[in-house]
């Protein structure tokens, strides 16, 4: 069984690497004279307003719900809070030893805790567990990480950043509930639970839109990779990446395995905890004045390191 799973994972990893590499080549070559920043922003907008709502509705409207709808987001909350707490002990408490500023500490705290659940998670889990496994990252993203991103993440960035912007929980909560993927999630949930008949063309359109999520987001990951940023403070960047890729999934495993045993859901919880740094954290960094260079470097190193830690996790878990 293990060779079959590893073969399935290999087939899943190769396209991930290829798409990220294509995005990196785009960054270097800028075909058709399109600026990489504007191109990335356009793709991100398409994902946010069209592609991600499509896959959220498509999957949630027809999935059979189980305990994982609560367990997977709960594991994300636990792992993220534990990783950020550890990051605080490693980077913030001995800040003078590291010789870093508060904005750099804020960037490291966010970088070592917020994972790229959506694009990486969907691609990896579908390659391992089949198409229906897309529901796990959607649960984790909409119910788990998105809530913490607009509350805890924004709060940390506001406190540690250099830009004088006040953090208001109510305003950020409203931002969360205005997001198209959240509306699509609850629309699909309503259709599913109430068995509301929907025209076939609606489901087909949502499915077609959803198919563009993973390639679009992986291209933007490649477009965001800048190897120059890795040369700055390599020890801190490696430490933050190790917390994200190794310590965070280990902490989740230490809790969920004794409680629930080795099941598909617990395997998913651990794998999602070990995803690399979330690309959207750069938006918080730029908005509140964190050290974006360090955060981008953590994103690069954790993304590259993920292709080494993922096969190890698969070998241990499956």
pLDDT digits (tens, 9 = 90+) for 16-55: 888 888 988 988 888 878 888 888 888 888 988 999 899 9
> Which has more pLDDT, 119 or 189?
189
Could you tell me the end-to-end alpha-carbon distance of the chain, in angstroms, rounded to an integer? 9
Task: Identify the pLDDT of residue 253.
Answer: 97
What is the spatial distance between Cα 316 and Cα 63, in angstroms, rounded to a whole number?
28
Q: Report the distance separating Cα 57 and Cα 119, nearest Å.
A: 16
CB atoms under 10 Å from CB of 60, counted, come to 26
pLDDT in tens, 62-94: 888 889 999 999 999 999 999 999 999 999 877
The answer as to whether 30 is a domain residue is no
> Residue 203: which CATH number?
1.20.1530
Please state, for a pLDDT cut of 90, what percent of the chain lies above it.
Answer: 42
Residue 281 domain flag: yes
Give a yes or no: residue 293 inside a domain. Answer: yes
pLDDT exceeds cutoff 90 at 243:
yes
Q: How confident is the model at residue 7 (pLDDT cuts 50, 70, 90)?
A: low
Instruction: Provide the H-helix boundaries in the chain.
Output: 2-29, 36-46, 52-60, 68-87, 95-98, 102-111, 117-129, 135-139, 146-148, 154-160, 169-177, 180-194, 200-210, 213-224, 234-242, 248-260, 264-273, 281-288, 292-317
| pLDDT tens track for 180-199 | 888 999 999 999 999 999 99
Report pTM. 0.87
**pLDDT of res. 164:** 62
Q: Has residue 101 got a pLDDT over 80? A: yes
Q: 277 - beta bridge partners?
A: 115
Q: What is the pLDDT of residues 130-163, one digit of tens each?
A: 888 999 999 999 999 988 988 889 889 888 888 7
Residue 250 belongs to some domain of the structure:
yes
Higher pLDDT, 14 or 208: 208
The single-letter DSSP state of residue 115 is B
29 within a domain of the structure (yes/no): no
Does any domain span residue 249?
A: yes
What percent of the chain shows pLDDT beyond 70? 91
d(CA 317, CA 243): 19
Question: What pLDDT, on a 0 to 100 scale, did the predictor assign at position 80?
Answer: 96
Number of domains the chain contains: 1
Sign of CA dihedral 137, 140, 141, 145: negative
Tell me if 11 is assigned to some domain.
yes
Helix (H, G, I), strand (E, B) or coil at 277: strand
218 lies in some domain = yes
- Give the number of other CB atoms < 10 A from CB of residue 113: 29
* DSSP for residue 289: T
Domain range enclosing 157: 2-24+35-317
- Residues 118, 137 contacting (CB under 8 angstroms): yes
Q: Which of 169-178, 203-212, 292-301 shows the lowest per-residue confidence on average (mean pLDDT)?
A: 169-178
pLDDT at residue 255 above 80? yes
Q: Which long-range contacts (CB under 8 A, 24 or more apart) does 205-209 make?
A: 205/54, 206/53, 206/54, 206/55, 206/57, 206/58, 206/61, 207/54, 207/58, 208/54, 209/50, 209/51, 209/53, 209/54, 209/55, 209/58
pLDDT at position 308 over 60: yes
Q: Phi, psi (5° rounding) for residue 272?
A: -65, -35
Asked if the model's pLDDT at residue 2 lies above 80, the reply is no
Nearest to 274 by CA among 63, 76, 10: 76
Task: Assess whether pLDDT exceeds 70 at residue 8.
Answer: no
Mean pLDDT (whole number) for 118-140: 88
Coil, helix or strand for 184? Answer: helix
């Amino acid at each position: 069984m293990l060779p079959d799973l590893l073969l399935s994972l290999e087939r899943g990893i190769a396209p991930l690497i290829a798409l990220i590499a294509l995005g990196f080549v785009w960054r270097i070559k800028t075909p058709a004279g399109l600026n990489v920043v504007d191109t990335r922003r356009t793709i991100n907008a398409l994902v946010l307003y069209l592609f991600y709502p499509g896959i959220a509705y498509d999957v949630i409207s027809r999935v059979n719900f189980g305990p994982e709808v609560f367990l997977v987001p709960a594991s994300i909350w636990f792992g993220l809070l534990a990783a950020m707490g550890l990051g605080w002990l490693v980077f913030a408490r001995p800040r003078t030893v590291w010789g870093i500023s508060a904005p750099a500490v804020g960037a490291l705290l966010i970088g070592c805790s917020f994972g790229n659940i959506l694009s990486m998670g969907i691609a990896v889990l579908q390659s391992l567990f089949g198409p229906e496994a897309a529901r796990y990252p959607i649960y984790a993203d909409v119910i788990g990480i998105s809530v913490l991103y607009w509350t805890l993440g924004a709060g940390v960035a506001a406190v540690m950043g250099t830009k004088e912007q006040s953090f208001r929980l109510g305003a950020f909560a409203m931002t969360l509930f205005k997001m198209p993927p959240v509306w699509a999630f609850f629309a699909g949930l309503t259709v599913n639970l109430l068995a509301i008949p929907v025209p076939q063309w609606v489901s087909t359109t949502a499915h077609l839109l959803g198919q563009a999520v993973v390639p679009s987001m992986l291209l933007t990951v490649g477009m965001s990779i800048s190897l120059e940023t890795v040369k700055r403070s390599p020890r801190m960047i490696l430490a933050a990446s190790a917390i994200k890729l190794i310590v965070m999934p280990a902490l989740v495993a230490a809790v969920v395995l004794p409680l629930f045993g080795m099941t598909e859901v617990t395997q998913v919880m651990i794998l999602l905890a070990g995803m690399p740094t979330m690309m959207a954290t750069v938006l918080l960094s730029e908005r509140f004045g964190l050290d974006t260079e360090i955060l981008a470097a953590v994103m690069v190193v954790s993304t590259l390191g993920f292709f080494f830690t993922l096969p190890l996790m698969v070998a241990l878990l499956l």
